[in-house]
Amino acid sequence: MKILVTGHKGFIGSQIFSNLKSNGFDVTGIDLDDKLVDAKYDYIVHMGARTLIRNSREKPFEYFRDNMVLSLQMLEISRKYGSVIIYPTSGSVSEATNPYSLAKKQIVEWIELYRNLYGIRRHVLKFYNIYGPTSRKGAVYLFCNAALNDLPAIIYGDGSHIRDFIHVEDVVRTIRMIIDGKIPEGHHEVGTGRGTSVMQLLHMVEEQTGKKLSVKYEDYILSEADRLVAGNPIINDPIPLERGINEVLKELKKEKSGVA
């Protein structure tokens, strides 16, 4: 089985690529600036994209080029060779308020058009807030890093907005379940189904580190939904957030101490 992973050097894509490679799959990885090779793949795991929502406001064309155009190229390969495409969308597409989320929403529409016109097979995965030991963005990392380095925790808004925090290992597990034929084709939510407010997350980090964090409140840069939580998650036994926070803290402590 031949598999293409785009964005294979990124936080999520690298772990998918590593898992597939270590389990004996014939896997190829490309990133945004790499030359696309026209070849037949059984699966295309399309993780390559610009992902920082706030930056999309300043660089709308770049987000169109690197997200929309690259995705259409993946769809063309799927149409030509019958590849199954696995595409991550976002909980934010329900309220597309920026170039990033609008591109995500429109790419899903293109995927469905290709399915209806050409019969391609697809798995559209709605990702929620993904975190893990190697991530260097997102609230879990930022709060853990603030606690270990005596920095203020920045909260946008009042901290009451609720999010669904899903461990990257559960994302990799979902991709493997698809490739192993355990999940039927369609649209799936990759989250825990459990909502945690940003302020609750802060308190969880404080509890595990035994530190009281100073908080710096800032206005939203872009408008955000009050609640984004999976209603019907594909994983029914996700890694608990408490355990995930502990893993992130351990990794950051190792880096701080210089332990390889």
> What does the pLDDT look like over 61-81, one tens digit per residue?
988 888 899 999 999 999 999
Q: Which has the closest alpha carbon to 30: 6, 13, 48? A: 6
Q: 10 Å Cβ neighbour count for 217?
A: 12
pTM, to two decimals: 0.93
CATH 3.60.21.10 fits 132-165+192-260, yes or no: no
Question: In a 3-state reduction of DSSP, which class is residue 98?
Answer: coil
Q: Are 11 and 48 in contact (CB under 8 A)?
A: no
| Mean pLDDT to the nearest integer, 166-185 | 97
Tell me whether the CATH fold assigned to 1-127 matches the one assigned to 132-165+192-260. Answer: no
Hey, what are 120's tokens? 């391609």
Q: What was the pLDDT predicted at 252?
A: 97
**Scanning the structure block, which residue is given the tokens 């955000």?**
224
Which of the four pLDDT bands, split at 50, 70 and 90, describes residue 93?
low
Superfamily name and number for 1-127: NAD(P)-binding Rossmann-like Domain (3.40.50.720)
Token reading at 121: 């097979």
- With a cut of 70, say whether residue 92 has pLDDT above it: no
Q: Please state the domain extents for the chain.
A: 1-127, 132-165+192-260
CA distance linking residue 144 with residue 153, whole number of Å: 9
Per-residue confidence (pLDDT) for residue 33, from 0 to 100:
84
